[in-house]
């Protein structure tokens, strides 16, 4: 299983599980509203969307990871960080998935990058995973506002955009939330 092979840290795994649960719940609401959603694809993509999240941790301090780590974990993480240095974890994860023959999952995973809101989405599965990831802080569902604020703080060392660019992207994320709520007929909290 990929999760074990890539030694996904426990706290990252809990985040992926939270995103998967929220995404599938949201996908179910889309189905109830008459939209065709591939829940299996959505679940699988959500479970591995942060498969190699360690590659772009700005502050890499495994000793602070909840649940600890083994020497083997550390060796795998350091090798991944070296191999994918300078590559966003969504792109690295998508590349790994494509190499393994999981191209549909790879497409959905690649689209969860924050900046992808500017590019746009090809499917509801991409939109739903993107949005679910932006609503799950660690392993808890929070408001979009709280999650975006947390992301700005935690990623301040790597964000290379102006305040105006950030505001435009944030506005687009809130527009996506509105589009989702209009599609399913209710807010989901």
Given a cut of 80, is residue 178 above it in pLDDT? yes
- Rounded (10°) angle between helices 39-48 and 103-110: 60
| pLDDT value at 161 more than 70 | no
User: Does residue 181 contact residue 188 with C-beta atoms inside 8 Å?
Assistant: yes
Phi, psi of 140 (to 5 degrees): -120, 140
| pLDDT for the residue numbered 54 | 97
* Mean pLDDT across 22-51: 97
Using alpha carbons only, give the angle 177, 180, 185 rounded to the nearest 5 degrees.
120
The pTM of the full predicted model, rounded to 2 decimals, is: 0.94
Q: Kindly report the length of the chain.
A: 189
Number of other residues whose CB lies within 10 A of the CB of residue 42: 26
Report pLDDT digits (tens) over 133-151: 999 999 999 999 999 888 7
Domains of the chain, start order: 2-184 (1.10.3210)
Compute the mean pLDDT over every residue in the chain, rounded to the nearest whole number. 93
| pLDDT per position as a tens digit, 65-103 | 998 899 999 999 999 999 999 999 999 999 999 999 999
Structure token digits, residue 110: 């690649």
Residue 82, φ and ψ in degrees, nearest 5: -70, -50
Give the pLDDT score at 149.
87
């Amino acid at each position: 299983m990929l999760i074990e092979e890539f030694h996904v840290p426990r706290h990252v795994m809990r985040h992926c599980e939270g995103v998967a649960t929220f995404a599938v719940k949201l996908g179910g609401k889309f189905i109830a509203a008459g939209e065709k959603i591939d829940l299996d694809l959505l679940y699988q993509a959500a479970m591995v969307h942060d498969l190699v999240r360690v590659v772009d941790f700005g502050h890499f301090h495994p000793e602070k990871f909840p649940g600890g780590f083994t020497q083997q974990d550390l060796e795998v993480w350091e090798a991944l960080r070296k191999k994918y240095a300078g590559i966003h974890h969504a792109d690295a994860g998508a590349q790994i998935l494509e190499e393994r023959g999981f191209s549909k999952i790879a497409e959905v995973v690649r689209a969860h990058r924050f900046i992808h809101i500017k590019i746009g989405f090809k499917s509801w599965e991409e939109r739903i995973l993107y949005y679910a990831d932006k609503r799950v802080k660690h392993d808890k569902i929070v408001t979009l506002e709280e999650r975006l604020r947390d992301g700005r703080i935690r990623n301040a060392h790597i964000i290379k955009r102006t305040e105006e660019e950030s505001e435009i992207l944030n506005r687009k994320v809130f527009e996506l939330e509105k589009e989702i709520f209009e599609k399913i007929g209710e807010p989901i909290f």
